[in-house]
Amino acid sequence: MRKIIHIDMDCFYAAIEMRENPKLVGKPLAVGGGESRGVVCTCNYEARKFGVRSAMPGFMARERCPQIIFLPVRFDLYRAVSQQIQTILREVTELVEPLSLDEAYLDVTACDRYAWDIAKEVRARVFTETGLTASAGIAPNKMLAKIASEWRKPNGQFAILPDQIQAFMATLPVRKVWGIGPKSAERLTTHGIQTCGDFQNFSLIEMAQQFGRWGEELFHLCRGEDERAVEPHWIRKSLSNEKTFSENLVSLAACEAAMIKLAEATLEELKTKASDRQVRKAFVTVKFSDFTRTTKECICPEPTASIYRTLLAEAYARKALPVRLLGAGVRFADGEEPQLELF
Ligand code: TTP
Ligand code: MG
């Protein structure tokens, strides 16, 4: 039986901004979303009381909370804090898998102390060294640990013990299961499936018929079973740049000009961040004025600006509506992982 801890910082970007400027403490604030048509990256818990959420357009956040303070995003600062936190985590165990700037899994199976106590100590150390609070989930696997870390947010921790898993899963909304987004959850609801308990009534074969290969995984996940290991060497699967325009682009020519810049930025980043990786595909993303999003990709080991122009033309032609957002990216070849993985 493994012991996994999931650490997740509380309102991460917003908490850093409050630490940097204590006058902001107690006032509702959002990071990002202040510029025209921008979206909120995150907001503090005061703003959440008004219904402000991550990924919400700034104007909507202002509607819900007129006194909200918008702050610009300072990625470099957040990245530096994230590094500091990861250093603390790695002093506990080498088995740390960062998921994003503000969350990570720790496998503490080999530590001969209670995972509960380790989580408490990690949170205390993070607070002493960074002034920021974290929440933790403790469970026998990754999926449950991640669900558990939300339970006592902010600045709390929650454990799911092996003999509690069955009861816990019976009432857990399917939406909480790894890989089930709001749309799938809605579709399942129309079939009378709301909780993981409801989901458990289906046999392995029925799940496979409904969901294909993913069905088998779902069969186990909805029982609280998850065998995925904590992977200390995180492998980037893709790299991309996106831009939301302050005014919609209304012609293919205007999109092309913007696409060239995005493609150049991505190709440049490829050189600096992933020169050791084998590219498999190039892709472009287009979000139209009706908020629909489309992706066009092609197999292409050596993408160039002109490939992106071709992909753009095809994606653009799908709707030929004004464009809100463009993105240019690459996907890396499977199995072409850094040598580090072998050890
Ligand atoms: P989260 O951990 O999802 O959110 P949070 O840390 O702000 O708040 P919580 O207390 O609920 O954990 O995401 C971590 C950071 O990632 C967040 O501070 C900002 C960034 N982020 C975005 O930029 N856009 C998004 O849509 C989300 C969800 C997060
Ligand atoms: Mg967080």
Residue ranges and CATH numbers for the domains of the chain are 4-11+80-161 (3.30.70.270), 13-75 (3.40.1170.60), 164-221 (1.10.150.20), 238-332 (3.30.1490.100)
CA of 78 to the centre of ligand 2 (A): 12
- Please, what is the average pLDDT of the chain? 92
pTM of the model: 0.74
- Residue % of the chain over a pLDDT of 70: 97
Per mean pLDDT, which range of 8-12, 270-274, 312-316 is the poorest?
270-274
Hey, whose CA ends up nearest to atom 22 of ligand 1? 41
Instruction: Kindly state the average pLDDT of the residues 177-195.
Output: 86
Residue 236: what pLDDT? 75
Hey, whose CA ends up nearest to atom 20 of ligand 1? 41
Residue 234: pLDDT band (50, 70, 90) is low
Which residues participate in catalysis according to the annotation? Answer: 103
Instruction: Kindly state the average pLDDT of the residues 167-184.
Output: 89
CA of 225 to the centre of ligand 1 (A): 26
Residue 334: what pLDDT? 64
Hey, whose CA ends up nearest to atom 10 of ligand 1? 10
Ligand closest to Cα of 154 equals 1
Mutation choice for ligand 1 from 77, 81, 102, 150, CB with most ligand atoms inside 8 A: 102
Instruction: Kindly state the average pLDDT of the residues 249-263.
Output: 97
Burial class (CB in 10 A: 0-12, 13-18, 19+), 72: exposed
Asked if the bond preceding 98 is cis, omega within 30° of 0, the reply is no
Residue 180: pLDDT band (50, 70, 90) is confident
- Residues 327 and 289: their CA atoms lie apart, in Å, by 15
Q: In sequence order, what are the residues at sequence separation of 6 or more whose Cβ sits closer than 8 angstroms to the Cβ of residue 12?
A: 42, 78, 101, 102, 132
Residue 49 to residues 61, 63, 64, 155, 182: CA-CA distances in angstroms? 11, 13, 10, 17, 22
CA of 263 to the centre of ligand 1 (A): 27
- Residue % of the chain over a pLDDT of 90: 80
pLDDT over threshold 60, residue 150: yes
Q: Is residue 168 within 8 Å of 131, Cβ to Cβ?
A: no
Amino acid making up residue 24: L
- Residues 72 and 60: their CA atoms lie apart, in Å, by 17
What the block records as the tokens of 70 is 């918008």
Residue 320: pLDDT band (50, 70, 90) is confident
